Amino acid sequence: MTDQSGKTRGLVEAYGPVSTGDSQLRLKANPRDFTLWQRAQIFVATWLGYVALLLVGRTLRWETFGWGNWESARQMGKGLVYTCWHRQIFAGTWFWRNRGIVAMASQNFDGEYITRILQKNGYGVARGSSSRGGAKALVEMIRCQRQGLDTVFTIDGPRGPRFVAKPGSVQLAKATGAGILCFHSAVHPAFVFKKSWDRTEFPFPFSRAAMFVAPPIFVPRDADRAEQGRKLQQVQTTLDELRNRAERWQKS
Most confident range, picked from 27-31, 103-107, 136-140, 169-173? 169-173
- In sequence order, what are the residues at sequence separation of 6 or more whose Cβ sits closer than 8 angstroms to the Cβ of residue 69? 181, 213, 214, 215, 216
Tens of pLDDT, residue by residue over 216-245, are 999 999 999 999 999 999 999 999 999 999
Mean pLDDT of 196-214: 96
**How confident is residue 134, by pLDDT bands cut at 50, 70 and 90?**
low
Task: Decide the pairing of beta strands 179-192 and 124-127.
Answer: unpaired
Mean pLDDT of 95-106: 94
Share of the chain above pLDDT 70, in %: 85
Tens of pLDDT, residue by residue over 152-167, are 999 998 888 999 999 9
Mean pLDDT of 103-121: 90
Around 82, how many Cα atoms within 13 Å sit in the side-chain half-sphere? 28
Around 119, how many Cα atoms within 13 Å sit in the side-chain half-sphere? 17
Report the topology of domain 28-251.
Glycerol-3-phosphate (1)-acyltransferase (3.40.1130)
One DSSP character per residue, the chain reads ----HHHHHHHHHHH------STT-B--SSPPP--HHHHHHHHHHHHHHHHHHHHHHTT-EEEEESHHHHHHHHHHTS-EEEEE-GGGHHHHHHHTTTS--EEEE-SSHHHHHHHHHHHHTT-EEEE-BTTTBHHHHHHHHHHHHHTT--EEEETTTTT--TT---THHHHHHHHH--EEEEEEEEEEEEEE-TTSTT--EEEEEEEEEEEEEPPPB---TT--HHHHHHHHHHHHHHHHHHHHHHHHHHH-
Could you give the angle at the alpha carbon of 140 between the alpha carbons of 201 and 7, nearest 5°?
110
Amino acid at 243: R
- Is the pTM higher than 0.95? The answer reads no
Tens of pLDDT, residue by residue over 10-34, are 333 333 333 334 444 544 434 467 8
Contact at 8 Å (CB) between 27 and 136?
yes
Q: What is the pLDDT of residue 127?
A: 83
> How far is C-alpha 25 from the geometric centre of its chain's CA atoms?
15
Name the average pLDDT for the chain. Answer: 87
Domain extents in the chain: 28-251
Strands of 80-84's sheet, edge to edge?
A: 61-65, 201-213, 179-192, 80-84, 151-154, 102-105, 124-127
Q: What is the pLDDT of residue 15?
A: 31
Amino acid at 234: Q
Amino acid at 200: T
**How confident is residue 122, by pLDDT bands cut at 50, 70 and 90?**
very high
Task: Decide the pairing of beta strands 179-192 and 201-213.
Answer: antiparallel
Q: What does the alpha-carbon distance between residue 186 and residue 92 come to, in Å, rounded to a whole number?
A: 9
- In sequence order, what are the residues at sequence separation of 6 or more whose Cβ sits closer than 8 angstroms to the Cβ of residue 196? none
Q: What is the pLDDT of residue 30?
A: 40
